[in-house]
């Protein structure tokens, strides 16, 4: 079972940041087509993201696509499942059906493009009450799912909570993600981003 120290986000639409991200020693780099890209730049950022993944040296290369509920997700997945991609980060997953839909599409693309079956990892981000409520089924929906990620910003918005510095309001939900991960035999989940980059003490 793998143990990852760090997943580093970088905007898919920013050439210098894409290149630099792969030189910083992170276990994996996530090129972001979702929050980091304006609507007008999402489609145009897919091809440059793949170019960066093909050129990477050491870190694993993931892409965070747009949620399945958006008009961008299908195009994101179709364009990025190519040699060089190690995994897809799928935001706002709320049911096992989200996983089976993405898994089916990825499997077709792997076969068509000569990739090994099951070679593309799928990491769902749990960001809502529905996602937490359906963790057990989501964890078992596909062998591509090796670990969860937890998204505190959208989760606290969904529940009407205030995201505080000590994050005590999230303990119960984080605990459920850990519990269901362990029960399903998944790797340890990836925690939410630390948003206040000027607060080094809080990050530590």
Mean pLDDT of 11-33: 90
H-assigned helices in the chain = 15-21, 46-55, 73-80, 96-112, 129-133, 135-139, 152-159, 171-183, 200-203
Mean pLDDT of 102-125: 98
CA dist 79 → 30, 50, 64 (Å): 16, 8, 13
Pseudo-torsion of CA 92, 179, 29, 70, nearest 10°? -10
Pairing of strands 60-64, 87-90: parallel
Mean pLDDT of 78-82: 97
- For residues 6 and 63, which has the higher predicted lDDT (pLDDT)? 63
Q: Among all chains, which residue has been given the structure tokens 């530590």?
A: 204
C-alpha to C-alpha distance for 23 and 26, rounded to whole angstroms = 8
For residue 186, which of 135, 151, 152 has the smallest C-alpha distance?
Answer: 135
How much is the mean pLDDT over the chain?
A: 94
**Among 27-41, 115-129, 189-203, where is mean pLDDT lowest?**
189-203
Report if pTM > 0.85: yes
């Amino acid at each position: 079972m793998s143990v990852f120290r760090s997943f580093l986000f970088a905007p898919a639409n920013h050439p210098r940041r894409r290149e630099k991200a792969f030189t910083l020693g992170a276990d994996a780099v996530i090129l972001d087509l979702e929050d980091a890209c304006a609507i007008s730049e999402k489609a145009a950022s897919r091809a440059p993201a793949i170019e960066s993944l093909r050129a990477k040296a050491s870190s694993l290369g993931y892409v965070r696509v747009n949620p399945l509920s958006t008009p961008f997700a299908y195009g994101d997945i179709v364009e990025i499942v190519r040699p060089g991609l190690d995994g897809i980060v799928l935001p706002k997953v709320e049911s096992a059906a989200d996983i089976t839909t993405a898994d089916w599409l990825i499997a077709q693309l792997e076969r068509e493009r000569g990739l090994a079956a099951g070679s593309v990892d799928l990491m769902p981000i749990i960001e809502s009450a529905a996602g937490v409520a359906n963790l057990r089924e989501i964890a078992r929906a596909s062998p591509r799912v090796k670990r969860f990620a937890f998204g505190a910003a959208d989760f606290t918005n969904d529940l009407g909570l205030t995201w505080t510095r000590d994050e005590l309001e999230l303990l119960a939900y984080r605990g459920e993600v850990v519990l269901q991960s362990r029960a399903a035999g998944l790797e340890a989940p990836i925690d939410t981003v630390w948003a206040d980059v000027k607060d080094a003490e809080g990050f530590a």
